[in-house]
């Protein structure tokens, strides 16, 4: 059977350890999809390209193997832009394969022909277009190297349609196959010469001789001297604090080593982003609340894989005398809005593991400090507990989330997609283990939920996947319940339905006196799931919570994707939480 470049792409993906490819079909990329399928790669087609890229982002985060998405030319690529930018800011390793107009028809008015490279190059680590079959393997293997080296991020590879299909078909389309009847005349002969030369250059290499290689794993360097200097600073501290960000979680296959290292050092720790759940549900060293106060009182902060951005008050959250050790793969993030006493340009995973190896057991000196932080944590937990008992119109969202935290299984994955309801969930829900919490990251993108949940369930088929939706965010991707049904990925979506964009309305109404553009309907989202072939539950009273959770879990266990449409009321729990 004749081989095409789609087949070669499939072979490269297989050699790179790719197991899933997310897509929305298009004629520009059909050979990629069929070629990947031939190599045993599972093809998961979605209803909006943006969710294919969100899913690929999630694969990169959870497994460490770059996630792969393929989208068609033009609007397929433009639909993926938001998810690409989200992956860039989240530092997720992934490759986006984009279809493109025929090379010879570029800038001639071909269907869906736009300058895709110029469009995406500012939001990816590398944007490249393949022009010859000779280059497809080297370009793709380089794309994998680039997306996971240094600061990980997305790479875009443009694959023109006339390069992807069988050479014989392309020669026929261009009228340059052997034995074709030619028109006479100089102009026709010149055009024939040009097209034949173009096709000859595109297919200059024999497909049978093209063999992809194994992945080249690139490990960042770590200066042992810097680790020793860090240990000296830690040894002099009385109130140290460790903050671990998403970048420390890039070594997914060795994540238990990181958890053991952190626990062995005995440092009180806050976990951010993908690091949530690293130490399990309720480790005594992990603090969950009052981080701003802790930062002000700490005499040392180790910032491992997280910049001093808005989440840390642009560096203003630290006390005036606080020493800072910053560890980051990114040179710019090392010193963003701060002047570290020790800046370590390296992988935070490697640093923390190396620090644990030479760590001197001096944690007894920090017991009073740890107790102080734990007391604050308990104080905040008691406050949340009291707020959850308040009687309000509809279901108290804090009470609902407290109940959910009790009900979710130990192997559950939690996907967060929303504003106010999801921000409340971040205070209450406790991931049971590492790489079992996914949120958008620093871009704060609404709409990640379905793509993240799809990838999470495919990677963890035996785990419950809980998708925590705000009712506003749910509108971005509820159509993917069709995808969940078709691909047998029974996620459970809990929608906090208060009929308003609460995250915005709370401050907008208080500061500007107007709720314009923030009002929604308390829609029947559960019926959307039913219409697509899933199961829907309407949750209207607190007394029904346990039963509906039980019924939803049972339905998911039987293979049905589920929506729980929970009618929640409004609280002042997050009053004044606007981020700038």
pLDDT of residue 549: 98
pLDDT band for position 454 (50/70/90)? Answer: very high
pLDDT band for position 42 (50/70/90)? Answer: very high
Q: Which tens digits make up the pLDDT trace of 239-256?
A: 999 999 999 999 999 999
Tell me how far apart the alpha carbons of residues 569 and 566 are, in angstroms, rounded to a whole number.
10
pLDDT of residue 181: 57
pLDDT band for position 202 (50/70/90)? Answer: confident
Residue whose token pair is 């433009």: 78
DSSP character string of 178-214: TTPPPPPSHHHHHHHHHHHHHHHHHT-S-GGG-----
- What the chain holds in terms of domains, given with CATH numbers, is 5-209 (3.40.50.970), 224-371 (3.40.50.1220), 389-567 (3.40.50.970)
Tell me which of 177-191, 523-537, 541-555 is least confident: 177-191
Q: What residues have CB less than 8 Å from 540, skipping those under 6 apart?
A: 394, 395, 567
Q: Write out the E strands in 106-175.
A: 126-129, 154-160
For residue 557, what is the enclosing H or E element?
helix 545-557
The residue among 180 and 558 whose pLDDT is bigger is 558
pLDDT of residue 103: 79
Residue 578 pLDDT greater than 70, yes or no: no
Average pLDDT taken over every residue of the chain: 92
Query: What tokens does 8 get?
Result: 């070669």
Tell me how far apart the alpha carbons of residues 551 and 562 are, in angstroms, rounded to a whole number.
10
Q: Do the bridges between strand 492-497 and strand 465-470 make them parallel or antiparallel, or are there none, so unpaired? A: parallel
Q: Which tens digits make up the pLDDT trace of 50-93?
A: 999 999 999 999 999 999 999 999 999 999 999 999 999 999 99
Output the pTM of the full model. Answer: 0.94
Residue 507: CB atoms within 10 A of its CB come to 15
For residue 8, what is the enclosing H or E element?
helix 5-15
Backbone angles phi, psi at 288, to 5 degrees: -115, -20
Strands ordered across the beta sheet of 492-497? 437-438, 413-417, 465-470, 492-497, 562-567, 535-539
Percent pLDDT > 70 in the chain is 96
Q: Write out the E strands in 254-332.
A: 269-271, 300-304, 323-328
pLDDT of residue 182: 59
Cα 361 to its chain centre, rounded Å, is 36
Contact 30, 5 (CB under 8 A): no
């Amino acid at each position: 059977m004749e081989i095409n470049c789609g087949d070669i792409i499939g072979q490269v993906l297989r050699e790179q350890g790719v197991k899933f490819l997310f897509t929305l079909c298009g004629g520009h990329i059909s050979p990629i999809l069929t070629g990947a399928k031939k190599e045993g790669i599972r093809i998961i087609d979605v209803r909006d390209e943006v969710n294919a890229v969100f899913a690929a982002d999630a694969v990169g985060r959870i497994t460490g193997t770059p996630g792969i998405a393929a989208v068609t030319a033009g609007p397929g690529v433009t639909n993926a832009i938001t998810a690409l930018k989200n992956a860039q800011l989240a530092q997720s390793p992934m490759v986006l394969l984009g279809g493109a107009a025929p090379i010879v028809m570029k800038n001639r008015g071909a269907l869906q022909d736009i300058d895709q490279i110029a469009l995406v190059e500012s939001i990816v680590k590398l944007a490249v277009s393949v022009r010859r079959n000779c280059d497809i393997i080297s370009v793709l293997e380089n794309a994998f190297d680039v997306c996971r080296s240094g600061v990980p991020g997305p790479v875009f590879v443009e694959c023109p349609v006339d390069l992807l299909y069988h050479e014989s078909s392309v020669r026929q389309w261009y009228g340059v196959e052997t034995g074709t009847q030619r028109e006479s005349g100089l102009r026709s002969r010149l055009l024939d010469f040009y097209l034949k030369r173009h096709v000859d250059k595109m297919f200059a290499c024999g497909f049978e001789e093209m063999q992809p290689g194994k992945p080249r794993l690139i490990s960042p360097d770590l200066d042992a001297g810097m680790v020793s200097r860090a240990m000296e600073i830690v040894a002099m501290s009385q109130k140290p604090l460790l903050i671990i960000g998403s970048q420390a979680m890039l070594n997914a296959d060795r994540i238990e080593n990181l958890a053991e290292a952190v626990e062995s050092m005995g440092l009180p720790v806050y976990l951010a982003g993908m690091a949530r759940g690293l130490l399990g549900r309720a480790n005594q060293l992990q603090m969950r609340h009052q981080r701003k106060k802790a930062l002000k009182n700490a005499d040392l902060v180790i910032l491992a894989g997280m910049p001093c951005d808005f989440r840390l008050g642009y560096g203003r959250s630290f006390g005036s005398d606080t020493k800072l050790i910053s560890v980051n793969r990114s040179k710019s993030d090392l010193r963003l809005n701060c002047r570290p006493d020790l800046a370590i340009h390296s992988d935070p995973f490697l640093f923390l593991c190396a620090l644990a190896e030479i760590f001197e057991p001096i944690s007894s000196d920090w017991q009073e400090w740890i107790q102080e932080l734990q007391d604050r944590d308990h104080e905040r937990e008691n406050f949340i507990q009291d707020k959850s008992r308040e009687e309000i119109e509809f279901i108290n969202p804090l009470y609902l989330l407290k109940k959910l935290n009790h009900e979710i299984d130990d192997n559950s994955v939690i996907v967060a997609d929303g504003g106010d309801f999801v921000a409340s969930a971040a205070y209450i829900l406790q991931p049971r283990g590492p790489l079992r919490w996914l949120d958008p990251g620093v871009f704060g993108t609404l709409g990640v939920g379905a793509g993240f949940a799809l990838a999470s369930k495919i990677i963890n088929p035996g785990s419950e996947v809980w998708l925590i939706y705000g009712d506003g965010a749910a509108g971005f991707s509820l159509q993917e319940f069709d995808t969940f049904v078709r691909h047998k990925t029974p996620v459970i979506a809990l929608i906090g339905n208060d009929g308003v964009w609460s995250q915005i309305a709370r401050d907008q109404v208080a500061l500007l006196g107007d709720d314009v553009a923030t009002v929604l309907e308390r829609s029947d989202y559960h019926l959307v799931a039913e219409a697509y072939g899933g199961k829907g539950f309407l949750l209207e009273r607190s007394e029904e919570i346990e039963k509906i959770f039980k019924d939803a879990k049972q339905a998911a266990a039987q293979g049905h994707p589920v929506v729980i449409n929970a009618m929640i009321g409004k609280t002042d729990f997050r009053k004044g939480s606007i981020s700038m």
